Amino acid sequence: MESSPHSPGTSVEMPPSADLTADSAVIQELEAVLEHHFARPELLRHALTHSSLAHERDSTEPERQDNETLEFLGDAVVGMVAAEYVYRHYPDLSEGALTRLRGALVSRRHLAEVAEGLNLGKYLLLGRGEERSGGRMKTALLANTMEAIIGAVYLDAGLETVRNLIDARVIAPIVGALREQLNAGGGMGDFKSALQELLQASRQLQPQYRTTGETGPDHGKRFFVEVRAGGESMAEGEGRTRKHAEQDAARRAIDKLQIPGPPE
């Protein structure tokens, strides 16, 4: 995921943040997004607290913990769950292929896209400097927060609950298309290239991408893209940039190509 460039000295207006320190309704809103009610909501606040805020306090304020240790834990948990998933579901793959597949599932880019889909940027607790620099849309920060959330859910409810979250949000939406890329020998996670190779193999026309719309203010746009081949629509995608929306459309098209038709 990419953040939009801004010239030096330009003031960037950011979307309002959710006040998780005061508003229990916001906690409930995020819990609904995650489909998990925290028995210990302080773990959720901890997972969303960036170091820029943890270190930005005066002597009258209580000390805050940043989310770096939860990020460390979540990284290990998501890696283990992804490894177990590909081991169980793809027993025909070699160790090297399993490693590539797991790596794509837990990559920084993919985890940031998962965080973006959950709108985690809205809920981050950032320091003033990080807020001004567009921290809510930074790929590394979003990926780190996703890992911290996973670590928090693991501590709050255990392995089975966090496995359900990882399966639903991290693995299931992308693993089929990644497996097809592995078969085709293409770059893992580059769905546009994988779709092009699939269409070339079946002697179809080249995919073409068309922006069909965009919504939101400049600092929070969503782009909508359609991919077509041979004059027919294959799939539609969306994302924070046109490139992300094109990748999403290509991923959805690959998923459709892998669905077998009805028996003759």
* Structure tokens, 53: 């805020």
Backbone angles phi, psi at 18, to 5 degrees: -90, 130
3-state SS assignment for residue 228: strand
Other Cβ atoms closer than 10 A to 259:
7
Are 182 and 97 spatial neighbours (Cβ–Cβ below 8 Å)?
A: yes
Q: Is 214 an annotated catalytic residue? A: no
Amino acid at 245: A
- Burial of 14 (C-beta count, 10 Å sphere; 0-12/13-18/19+): middle
Q: Residues of 93-108 as b/e, b for ≥16 C-beta within 10 angstroms?
A: beeeebebbbebbbee
Residue 206 has what DSSP assignment?
A: P
Dihedral angle, C-alpha 54, 57, 61, 63, nearest 10 °:
30
Q: Dihedral sign, CA of 213, 218, 222, 227?
A: positive
Backbone angles phi, psi at 257, to 5 degrees: -65, -25
- Of these residues, 75, 180, 226, 248, which one is catalytic? 75
Q: Is 147 an annotated catalytic residue? A: yes
- Of these residues, 130, 131, 147, 246, which one is catalytic? 147
183 vs 194, 212, 240, CA distance in Å?
10, 31, 29
Strands (E), 41-148: none
* Catalytic annotation, residues: 75, 147
